[in-house]
Amino acid sequence: MILLALLALLALTATPPSTPALGTAEARCRPHEQGPALIVDVDGLKDRVGVLRAELYPAKDGDFLADDNVLIGQGKVFRRAVLTVPAAGTVSLCLRVPQPGAYALSVVHARDGGHGFSLLHDGIGFASNPRLGHSKPHADQATVLVHDGLTTTHVVMNYRSGLFSFAPLKR
């Protein structure tokens, strides 16, 4: 039962291969971005391989981690930034938002560079860095308030720890 709930969470965060570009054009920050935009600093990477996908959702449970096709089809906010993990240095992603406000944020470290999520290999993190249990966090546990201009938030990545749980790496 616990494993099924976790797999459901991961399926929700996986991007189907046919739609990897949804929300990326709207999220793309411009040179010298003035905002409103969210700068996501990512900490706790397991390694420097693959890609990071930061995804921004409406800050309400029914929409958080919902299918990007559905959200866009309903005219709701969905933004995605994809970054090849740099070999060294600070790791940051920038997402433009339509207006200041509260948004829910997830970050996936797809270590093989794919569009999905591997329960065994990949990492996941959320705004506000909630402790991850056996189910996905509620939207209010993964919410960030974006202001006019640039807002910065820090996300700590979590990787599988043991059979059923995810946790930050111990260094």
What is the token pair recorded at 62? 């029914």
Residue type, 108: V
Domain count, the chain: 1
Going by pLDDT thresholds of 50, 70 and 90, the confidence category of residue 14 is very low
Instruction: Kindly report the length of the chain.
Output: 171
Q: Which residue has the higher pLDDT, 50 or 2?
A: 50
Distance between CA 8 and CA 45 in Å, rounded? 23
DSSP secondary structure, 37-64, as one string: EEEEEEE--S-S-SEEEEEEEESSTTTT
| Domain membership of residue 59 as a residue range | 2-167
HEC states along 98-119?
CCCEEEEEEEEEECCCCCCCCC
Per-residue pLDDT at 18 exceeds 80: no
Average pLDDT (54-83) is 95
pLDDT of res. 115:
79
Average pLDDT (133-147) is 92
